Amino acid sequence: MRAHRPSLSRLQASDFRSLVSGFRSPSSFLGLLSCVFLLTACAQPAAYDAPQRTGTMPLAMRESSGIAASHHDPRVLWTHNDSGGQPVLYAVEPGGARRGDLRLTGATNRDWEDIASFELDGRSWLLVADTGDNTGLRNDCALYIVAEPETADLSPVHETIATVAWKIPVRYLDGPRDVEAVAVDARAGLVYLLAKRTSPHGLYTLPLRLPADGVVPAAMPVAQFPNASIPQPTSGQRMLPIPSGRFRAQPTGMDFASDGSAAVIVSYGDVMVFPRKDNEPWKDALLRPPVVLAPHGLAQAEGVCFGADNRTIYVSSEGPGSGIMRYRVAK
């Protein structure tokens, strides 16, 4: 039988003497105890301030369905319109100023739902997820990857043109999925996709690079994202047929911090942060209970990303004149 070890929170005097006696000196025990407390403090997830509105999306952004931080300029965010829009990415500042438009050749906007930024082979890239599937019938979902232009090459008065570097067809082993939340782990060479409407929400992966033979495998299910990780609507909210009502628990955006320290997911109602341990599989981090931030208060939040400092989170919403919300790690 394993010997009983009393918890530190319930130590009696005799227990304390027994524990200390197992060390060569009381000072060595106290040193170990200090390390335990220090490690525990370091492991605590960051606390975020309440969200602040930093600006308003330009009028061209009728349905900001995804958002990503630039790797060239910490003052720039990339976003795009939803289904049926032009195959154009928009560079904006958190305050709402429009820095430039990037038109993608070789891409079609059937239902663009998310965007991710990442670095690979010493270059900065943008991934656009044409993965929306409201009817569950699409067989042409795709991920478009394009090199991120330098911000000096952008202009608010004329479009910049970029050609898609590679395209990843998207299909799922268990049938069509409506996916609005996509993130990239460039170190592992994987794209993560989180289903919106299934219960629980399926988490899938695809290779970021095209295989040598050009044959892209079906997206692999790696976990079932628990419903409990997203705050569910109350009985009163369930009666409201609006995104922030009965649909508020549907995940609509996702991002990984560029330093690998955390993931963030936005739903129609809330923002959830998932701290990650060093070199831990993302699925393990995503299956733990998250840190739920203060509600964003947006009518139809669909975009979320970490800022360039990985201590800031931005949230965008569909709708003309929608706000850009910012969360910051509390000082």
pLDDT of res. 214: 86
User: pLDDT tens-digit profile of 204-213?
Assistant: 999 999 999 9
Phi, psi of 16 (to 5 degrees): -60, -45
Is 252's pLDDT higher than 50? yes
pLDDT of res. 160: 97
User: pLDDT tens-digit profile of 3-50?
Assistant: 443 343 333 444 434 434 544 554 544 444 344 333 333 445 679 999
User: pLDDT tens-digit profile of 224-240?
Assistant: 999 989 999 999 999 99
Q: What is the pTM of this model?
A: 0.86
Is 298's pLDDT higher than 60? yes
The closest alpha carbon to 293, from 54, 46, 77, belongs to: 46
pLDDT of res. 25: 53
pLDDT of res. 44: 54
Q: What is the mean pLDDT of the chain?
A: 88
- Higher pLDDT, residue 243 or 84: 243
The closest alpha carbon to 224, from 244, 194, 247, belongs to: 194
pLDDT of res. 60: 84
- Higher pLDDT, residue 44 or 200: 200
- Is 287:305 a contact under the CB 8 Å cutoff? no
- Higher pLDDT, residue 17 or 302: 302
User: pLDDT tens-digit profile of 214-227?
Assistant: 899 999 999 999 99
3-state SS track over the chain: CCCCCCCHHHCCHHHHHHHHHCCCCHHHHHHHHHHHHHHHHHHCCCCECCCEEEEECCCCCCECCEEEECCCCCCCEEEECCCCCCCEEEEECCCCCEEEEEEEECCCCCCCCEEEEEEECCEEEEEEEECCCCCCCCCCCEEEEEECCCHHHCCCCCEEEEECCEEEECCECCCCCCEEEEEEECCCCEEEEEECCCCCEEEEEEECCCCCCCCCCCEEEEEEECHHHCCCCCCCHHHCCCCCCCCCCCEEEEEECCCCCEEEEEECCCEEEEECCCCCCHHHHHCCCCEECCCCCCCCEEEEEECCCCCEEEEEEECCCCEEEEEEECC
Q: Which amino acid is at 98?
A: R
- Is 206:170 a contact under the CB 8 Å cutoff? yes
pLDDT of res. 27: 52
Is 276's pLDDT higher than 80? yes
Q: In CATH terms, is domain 48-328 a member of 3.40.1350?
A: no
- Is 227:242 a contact under the CB 8 Å cutoff? no
User: pLDDT tens-digit profile of 98-148?
Assistant: 999 999 999 999 999 999 999 999 999 999 999 999 999 999 999 999 999
User: pLDDT tens-digit profile of 149-193?
Assistant: 999 999 989 999 999 999 999 999 999 999 999 999 999 999 999
Is 61's pLDDT higher than 90? no
Residue ranges covered by each domain of the chain = 12-42, 48-328
Q: Sorting pLDDT into bands at 50, 70 and 90, what band is 62?
A: confident
User: pLDDT tens-digit profile of 70-84?
Assistant: 999 999 999 999 988
β pairing state of 98-105 and 159-163: parallel
